[in-house]
Amino acid sequence: MKNTPIKQEVIDKIIREFQISDFSKATIREVRAIASQAEVASGVEFIKMEMGVPGLSPSAIGVAAEIDALKNGLASLYPDINGLPELKKEASQFVKSFINIDLSPEGCVPVTGSMQGTFASFLICSQCNQQKDTILFIDPGFPVQKQQLVVMGQKYETFDVYNYRGEKLREKLESYLEKENISAIIYSNPNNPSWICLKEEELQIIGELATQYDVIVLEDLAYFGMDFRQDLSCPNQSPFQPSVANYTDNYIILISGSKIFSYAGQRIGVCCISDKLYHRNYPRLTKRYGAGTFGSVFIHRILYALSSGTSHSAQYAMAAMLKSANNGDYNFLNEVRIYGERAKKLKDIFLRHNFYLVYDKDLGDPIADGFYFTIGYPGMSSGELAKELMYYGISAISLITTGSWQEGLRACTSFIKDHQYVQLDERLKVFAENHPILK
Ligand SMILES: Cc1ncc(COP(=O)(O)O)c(C=O)c1O
């Protein structure tokens, strides 16, 4: 390869030191560490697209509320295990204002990030029914959630939704559900890593089948409202964030403060359990815990055992941010719209140099511009492409690690700086020259 910004030997040596034989399986943390070492060794700035960390300042409303709460001395007090009443009320209102779904404050339960929310949800869903011992992932997805199941020794199944959009989703889902071993279905929407957004008709299929097969849907809305093709930022006004909650009562919606409020460091999210599921009695839970409905076991047994609640001050922050969004005073989506603008520019540059978008459509519509997008290069596997781009000072993760069955990479827009568009264009020009496409 000619004129690569970083000498191949430099990258190859670092990769060898990490003892990674198959680069397609390198984790986000490994790719990041290799990029950082390569930067030091070569003096060339990397265009870092592997991490899904918010690159923006935290919501000022949250920070102010949290500081006030701490000044008022609550750091010494255990938080209410049910959650701060004000936060429960605002979370319930947020679900009403932005999804148009009625859900009691009782079922809105703070967690130390959606990560804890999925951990607790996987655990309880796996305990409701002896026969239902497997979680189904509508992939691609967030790799750590599978890691959570490995940690707790639970089974999972997965399929890549790429070839099963629209009505095709029904048959594919039923092929798993009819085996009667699935306790819960999980997906994120907008999706990490592909940024596809499931459409109403697809959510309806998921919801109807969840009711029919008595399965719980874990709807991960970590990127709430961030389908920037439409303006979902006005409370109590259509269009609303699409949700499976319109089609089934068997759901837990996971709302995270990390991305929409750039509040990842404080580890705060809310699990919103439907009223019906909250009050449902599962004999197997009663046998295991002595008493309790789904909701009370979730809070008083599982969350209590995991962390005895969620950081007190972060709950004040989340309550204030949600309240302000509900009132229409704080347009949280305006603050994160920049990710979509970056994605648009970055995609244009990649496409100009012979790359293609791997997940490119939502049933005929071009996908939205947002936090992530996926790229491939003709004739190159995920591992080859990820490694090759390192020579050009560009880091991204292979789609294989996300449960995708497609060849390509996930690129994240959150760390891109303004001067890097020109850099990316120059580097990809050299890349394309070194990898001519046979037409
Ligand atoms: C799809 C998805 N779910 C959950 C999370 C984690 O959210 P939290 O920081 O609230 O634990 C992320 C973070 O990247 C994510 O992409």
pLDDT score of 23: 86
Atom of ligand 1 nearest to the CA of 257: 10
Report the chain's C-alpha Rg in angstroms: 22
Contact 50, 395 (CB under 8 A): yes
Atom of ligand 1 nearest to the CA of 191: 1
CA contacts within 13 A on the Cβ side of 225? 29
The distance from CA 242 to its chain's CA centroid, rounded to whole angstroms, is 16
Mutation to probe ligand 1, out of 49, 50, 115 (largest number of atoms < 8 A from CB): 115
**Mapped to the 3 state alphabet, what secondary structure does 190-221 carry?**
CCCCCCCCCCHHHHHHHHHHHHHCCCEEEEEE
CATH of 60-327, one of 3.40.640.10, 3.40.50.800, 3.40.50.300, 3.20.20.140: 3.40.640.10
Where does the pLDDT of residue 25 fall: very low under 50, low under 70, confident under 90, or very high at 90 and above?
confident
- The 8-class DSSP code of residue 219 comes to E
Question: The whole model's pTM is what?
Answer: 0.96
pLDDT score of 99: 98
Whether 8-56+336-434 and 60-327 share one fold: the answer is: no
Q: Measured in angstroms, how far is the CA atom of residue 10 from the centroid of ligand 1?
A: 33
pLDDT score of 11: 94
Which tens digits make up the pLDDT trace of 209-253? 999 999 999 999 999 999 999 999 999 999 999 999 999 999 999
> Could you identify the residue written with the tokens 């071009």?
366
Which tens digits make up the pLDDT trace of 42-83? 999 999 999 888 879 999 999 999 999 999 999 999 999 999
| DSSP β-bridge partners for residue 272 | 108, 253
pLDDT score of 21: 82
Angle between helices 143-152 and 114-127 (to 10 degrees): 50
DSSP for 363-382 reads: TTEEPPPSSEEEEE-TT--H
Stronger pLDDT, 204 or 438, i.e. the higher one: 204
Domain ranges within the chain, ordered by starting residue = 8-56+336-434, 60-327
Which residues, 6+ apart, have CB-to-CB distance to 12 below 8 Å?
A: none
Within 24-84, residue ranges assigned H as helices are 28-42, 60-71
Q: Measured in angstroms, how far is the CA atom of residue 428 from the centroid of ligand 1?
A: 30
Class of domain 8-56+336-434 (CATH, top level): alpha beta
Protein residue with least CA distance to atom 7, ligand 1:
114
Atom of ligand 1 nearest to the CA of 53: 14
Which residues have any ligand 1 atom within 6 Å of their CB?
Answer: 52, 113-115, 142, 188, 192, 220, 222, 256, 258, 264, 269
Q: Measured in angstroms, how far is the CA atom of residue 408 from the centroid of ligand 1?
A: 21
* Residue 261 pLDDT exceeds 80: yes
Mutation to probe ligand 1, out of 109, 259, 311 (largest number of atoms < 8 A from CB): 259
